[in-house]
Amino acid sequence: MAPMAGITDTPFRERLRRWGCDALSTEMISASALVRNHRGTIAMVDPPDRDDNTAVQLAGVKPGELEEGARLLAAIGWKRIDFNMGCPVRKVVSTGAGAGLMRNLPLAARCIRALRETSGVVLTVKMRSGWSPTEENYLEAGRMAEECGADGIILHPRFRSQGYSGEADWAKIAALAGAVKIPVAGSGDVKNPGDALKCLKDYPVAAVMIGRAALAEPWIFRDAKRLLAGEEVPGRPSAGEIAADLLIQYDRLVELKGEGAAVGEIKKFAAWALKGFEMATHRRKEVMEIKDAARMRQAIMSFKDLEYRAGNSGGEG
C-alpha cells in the first residue's frame, strides 16, 4: 500500500491487512518533527506495527535530522524506512523535500547516505520520473540511490509537474529496473486487480504498489493475490461485511485518538465505503454532518442494510 498523508494511519493499515495487503507504509513522517519529539508525530510511529513489513515513510532535507530520525525509529522497533523523493505537494516541495529532491540529487545523495548509517534497517527510496518532462532524471536518481546504499527503489512514473494527472508511464519503471541491480517496485494507475497482474507479468518489477484504488475497495489486495495465483476472484463484499470492517476501523480510531478525532477522521473512509450503493450521495451527506460519536457508530452499522446499485454487486463499485 502506498503511503498517503492523512490516510495510512494505524487503523487503516490494520484494515488493509485484513484484506490481504502484505506490505504497507505509514503516513509521511517529517524527520524534523520526529527529532524534535513532536507529540503528534511520535504518536504516528510509537508503538511500531507488529509485523516487519511496514515502512515508515520519512521526509526531510537535512542529513543530520534524517540520520537521527532513522536511529530513533530503529530504537522504537521499526525495521523499514522509505525515503520520500516523490511527494508533489507544494508545501512539501517548497522546503526542498519530496519531489523537490529530484532537482537536487547531490543533497538527496547525502540524505540517503545519512539514512544508510542506521544499520539493520531496510531502506527504500520512493521517487518520481523527475521534476518535469524537461528535467527527467529518474535513471540518474535511481543509480545514485543504489550507490548510496538503498536496498530498493519505488518509482511513480509521473513528473512532479503532473501531480496525479495524465498517465503513469510504466515503460520508465522497466527502464529503471534494467539500469540498477537492486529491486524496483512500480506505483501509479493500478486501479484494479487486473492492472496489478498485468504490471507484475509485463514489467520486470519486484512488487506493485497500490494507492488510491484501495480507498474505496481495500479488498483489491485479496483479489489481486487470488488472480495472480490463478484462483477465482470473489465478488464485492456484502454490505454487512463492509459495515463490520469499517466499524472495526472506527473503534480503533476512537481507542487511539479519542471520539472527537475519530468522528472527523472516519468520515472520508465512510464516504469511500459507500461507493456503488444506492442513495450513496444522500448517505455521504448525512455522514458528513454527524458530530456525535454514538451517532457515527450507528450510521456505520446501518450500512449493512444498504443495497448495491444495479450492476455494482460484482466488484466494480
Count of C-beta atoms within a 10 Å radius of residue 164: 12
Element (H, E) at 82: strand 80-85
156 forms beta bridges with 128
Please tell me which residue in 87, 111, 148, 199 is annotated as part of the active site. 87
By DSSP bridging, strand 54-59 and strand 80-85 are parallel
| 31, 33, 38, 44 alpha-carbon torsion, rounded to 10° | -50
Look up residue 29 and give its three cell numbers. 513522517
Could you give the strand order of the β-sheet that contains 122-130, starting from the edge strand earlier in sequence?
24-30, 54-59, 80-85, 122-130, 152-159, 184-187, 207-209
* Contact call for residues 177 and 151 (beta carbons, < 8 A): no
In angstroms, how far is the first alpha carbon of the chain from the final one?
Answer: 20
Spell out the residues 6+ positions from residue 93 whose beta carbon is closer than 8 angstroms to its own. 87, 99, 100, 160
By DSSP bridging, strand 207-209 and strand 184-187 are parallel
Q: Check if 87 is active-site.
A: yes
**Which residues form the catalytic set?**
87
